[in-house]
Amino acid sequence: MKEIVVISGKGGTGKTSITASLAYLGGKDLIIADCDVDAADMHLLMAPDFGQSEDFYSGEIAYIDQDACIKCGKCQDVCRFDAIPIINTQYVVDPLGCEGCGYCARVCPTDAISNSQPKVGEVYVSDIRTGSTMVHARLSIGADNSGKLVAKVKNEAKTLAEKENKIAVLVDGSPGVGCPVVSSLSGASFTVLVTEPTVSGLHDLRRVYELVKKFGIKAGCIINKADLNKSVSEEIKSFLKEEEIILLSEIPYNVKFTDAMTNGKTIVEYDKELGNIISESWNKIIRAVWNTGDPK
Which one of residues 203, 234, 280, 283 is an interface residue with another protein (CB under 8 A)?
A: 203
76 lies in the binding site for another protein (CB under 8 A) = no
Q: How far is the CB of 67 from another protein (least distance, A)?
A: 25
- Of 38, 53, 59, which is closest to residue 141 (Cα–Cα)? 38
Q: Could you tell me whether strands 168-172 and 113-116 are parallel, antiparallel, or unpaired per DSSP bridges?
A: unpaired
Is residue 205 a contact point for another protein (CB under 8 A)?
no
Task: Tell me whether residue 188 or residue 240 sits nearer to another protein (CB atom).
Answer: 188
Q: Shortest Cβ distance from residue 239 to another protein (Å)?
A: 16
Task: Please identify which residue in 255, 291, 294, 296 interacts with another protein, judged by CB under 8 A.
Answer: 255
Q: Is 261 in the site for another protein (CB under 8 A)?
A: yes
Beta bridge partners of 192: 6, 220
Which residue number, 147 or 275, has a Cβ lying nearer to another protein? 147
When the beta carbons of 280 and 293 are compared against another protein, the nearer one is 293
CA distance linking residue 3 with residue 255, whole number of Å:
30
Binding mask 143-182 for another protein (x = CB under 8 A): xxxxxx--xx--x-------------------xxxxx--x
Interface with another protein, residue 47, by CB under 8 A: no
